[in-house]
Amino acid sequence: MTSLETPAPRPAIKGAPARRQAMLDYIIQAGSAQVDELAERFGVSRMTVHRDLDALSDRGMVNKQHGGVTTHSSSVFESNFALRSHIAAREKQALARAALEEIAPGEAVMLDDSTTASELASLLPSREPLTVITNGLESIERLKSASGVKLMTLGGDYQPRFNATFGLLCEKTLASLRANVAILSASAILGTTAYVQDPAVTQIKRAQMMAAERKILLVHSAKFGNSALHRLADLDEFDLVLIDAGLTAEYYGELNDAGIRYRLIEIS
């Protein structure tokens, strides 16, 4: 048994990458889990759980044991961001290129802690001069040598799992700023609502939205039809939602019916 009470089963998450990320998030939170517990939690077979755990184990994310799995207290947290960076990399790069088109030289740009935002960070020097405000250390690393970018880092409590800062200090700093545009991502989209798994991450993303005139959401199509623990925002709160063209007709039908402002991005 884990230290967390096993929640009610949820509908199966569509797509192995999204399911493995959600499974890793759950194992990290719990510290350990049993195969049967994970199968019930994620609505999949034991065989599927074993395949997912093998994939996570091969990347050094978890320590698979007979009948269950545990996390390494330091290495898993440090490598979680790296794992997310490799999921849907081509889609994230395409979304970043599309987001760049929405940014003009001279603007102040807010980036969240997401791996998709860090892909955009690599492209931003082409829009110099810019002011970039972020709590994501990967974005900071990619921009620190850009001579035409004024880089503002948000303080707070560093969380290795996300390679970013959060907490009260980060939130208070955001409350004193005003950016032209905030670029964010989300863990899941259910219906026309965006969700995030972690409460601290959700809090800062909301503060970033409040601190910007325009809000743009970048989201991988595989995240549609899934849910996470904390509601971030309804999609109509964003000025634009950029989605890779892998989105099925079922979901963009919902977006059209709700009047969501979105654009489908082809993957090159």
Domain boundaries of the chain, sorted by first residue: 16-84, 88-265
Is 60 exceeded by the pLDDT of residue 142?
yes
15 vs 112: which has the higher pLDDT: 112
Fold type of domain 16-84: Arc Repressor Mutant, subunit A (1.10.10)
pLDDT confidence tier of residue 29, bands split at 50, 70 and 90 = low
Among the listed residues 229, 220, 240, 165, the one whose alpha carbon sits nearest the alpha carbon of residue 196: 229
* Beta strand 179-184 pairing with 108-111: parallel
227 vs 213: which has the higher pLDDT: 213
| Residue percentage of the chain with pLDDT more than 70 | 88
Token code pair at residue 29:
């939170």
**How far is the CA of 147 from the CAs of 114, 155, 179, 182, 200, in angstroms?**
23, 22, 20, 21, 32
Q: What is the pLDDT of residue 63?
A: 84
Q: What is the pLDDT of residue 145?
A: 94
pLDDT confidence tier of residue 5, bands split at 50, 70 and 90 = very low
Domain 88-265 has what CATH class? alpha beta
DSSP classification of residue 2: -
pLDDT confidence tier of residue 25, bands split at 50, 70 and 90 = confident
Mean of the pLDDT values across residues 32-38?
92
Predicted model pTM = 0.74
- Check if 16-84 and 88-265 are the same fold: no
Residues 77-126 pLDDT 10s: 434 666 666 667 788 999 999 999 999 999 999 999 999 999 999 999 99
